[in-house]
Structure 1
């Protein structure tokens, strides 16, 4: 598993490094709610990405690494956790029955982000993308009920899957330590200059009431 994880993490970081030069500061209004995937992420900390790095840059790497963890847990579940696998298969079949799946097949930089912007007070949406997706989900038939014994067994398998995910995450954090210098160099070269230019432009556009030479 170690060699496979190393290869996958190396490829994920390389893909992120190729993407970073294309990153640009967002010009739209920022979101209010923090991203649960990136906030306080040990993955990002191991990679050397600090909390002051723009969220889009963080999300591009954290999502790629999450995909690796998800695949590892999926393989573990298929081999060792039959009840949980059955539940996942049933949910996957329900998802395939939905004709509108806006959160699928997104680029890593957008995966897992909210589908709609934060609402503006006094200006309600006529509709939301998330609302349309939820409406289709409601129309699907419910999953078959489970007995209490089956629920207890399923909870145990879910706990085992979580434990395995944490183990894989710790392994990946160790691997990411080798990439810290390259990651930080990419941020210094491609991200920080854009932020500094943005701040300089913002500063120059503000009025200076205490400047005697200002008109």
Structure 2
């Protein structure tokens, strides 16, 4: 039996709550480009995860919720949008033909994230994971071109799929409002203490920038 949208959202939140105790603040350099999945997300707003929440925490939930929306749109497309479904099937077959697919099979906390860290100034990478993926993609033949009529029909179906995605997204946001209390309780228990500890450590390092045990002169 197909699970209701309420059940799917509840299970996604449950899975995120089970993962959250394992979260730790990142110690590497932050990325310059913002995450398009999380920045300004109405899903995160409905869940009560504001801009003051670390991105890793946000991303783990937004990705799980996006999977629910994507699944709903995929079902709608398969039943109602044959041209778009055919195009997606061709793209899926093309993706399967790629010899290197590093972005597939990732845990929700890493889906949609950049494959490589930001390079250090003056120290470019000899190679990147994203670059190798692009090379593998270049070896796969491109999809056949579409006629002008087919492009117009496809754009219409894409618009219908977008409308359906927006409808599901609004329903999901409404459902998430009922989970805000337990989401915020988990943030208070597992995230805020770690952030407070980092701020305390930063304050101590600013107050005492030098090791008192180190000699200060010759």
CA deviation after TM superposition for structure 1 residue 98, in Å: 1.1
Mapping of residues 149-168 of structure 1, within 5 Å: 149-168=149-168
**Secondary structure of the corresponding residue to residue 32 of structure 1:** coil
CA apart distance, 1:121: 2.1
- Tell me whether 1:42 sits opposite 2:42 in the alignment: yes
Tell me if structure 1 keeps the 8 A contact 2:98–2:139.
no
Unaligned runs of 5+ in 2: 210-215
Query: TM-score scaled by structure 2?
Result: 0.93
Aligned to 1:99: 99
Q: Which residue of 2 aligns with 1:180?
A: 180
Q: Distance in 2 between matches of 1:71 and 1:3?
A: 12
Residues 53-104 of structure 1 deviation map (CA, whole Å, 9 limit, x = unaligned) = 0000000000000000000000000000011101100010011111210000
**How has the CA–CA distance of structure 1 residues 91 and 192 changed in structure 2, closer, same or farther, with 3 Å as cutoff?**
same
1:110 aligns with 2:110: yes
Unmatched tracts of structure 1, length 5 or more: 210-214
Find out whether 1:20 has 2:20 as its counterpart.
Answer: yes
Residue 31 of structure 2: aligned partner: 31
The separation in 1 between residues aligned to 2:183 and 2:207, in whole angstroms, is 37
Secondary structure of the corresponding residue to residue 4 of structure 2? helix
Whether 2:128 is the aligned partner of 1:125: answer no
How many angstroms does 1:3 deviate by?
6.5
**Equivalent residue, structure 2, for 1:212:** none
In 1: Cα distance, 2:207 partner to 2:172 partner: 48
CA RMSD, aligned part only? 1.4
Deviation >4 Å, runs of 4+: none
Distance, in Å, in 1 between the alignment partners of 2:99 and 2:207 is 52
What is the TM-score when the length of structure 1 is the normalising length?
0.94
Residues matched between the structures, number: 209
Q: CA deviation at 1:208?
A: 4.9
Instruction: Note the 1:45-64 alignment, pairs <5 A.
Output: 45-64=45-64
Q: Does 1:169 align with 2:169?
A: yes
Cα distance in 2 for partners of 1:159, 1:195 equals 42
Secondary structure in structure 2 of the residue aligned to 1:206: helix
